Amino acid sequence: MDQKTWLWRKRSSEKIIVASDKAELTQKSNKEEVLPSEKEVALESSVKYLNEKSASVICGCNAEDDLVADHAKTAQEAIAGAKF
């Protein structure tokens, strides 16, 4: 009779090897901290600056839109008052 190993069965030594490989990979990923290069730092700072600048422009546009709406309302009230 042929002795076949079942596909879903692994030897205990194979299980230990696979488990130790996974443990080594997680240890390597935890130890390795990637330090950003100067270009990455400069890019991050420029992106932060541009985000702040665009936020201030949007805020200014919203303020101008509110002012235009107030002027339109005032003009409509003036026109309505002139008709009477």
Average pLDDT over residues 43-58: 94
Mean pLDDT of 58-75: 91
| Higher-scoring residue by pLDDT: 48, 13 | 48
- pLDDT tops 90 at residue 45: yes
The residue among 19, 73, 58 whose CA lies nearest residue 81 is 73
Percentage of residues in the chain having pLDDT higher than 70 = 57
Identity of the amino acid at 45: S
A 10 A CB-CB count for 9 gives 7
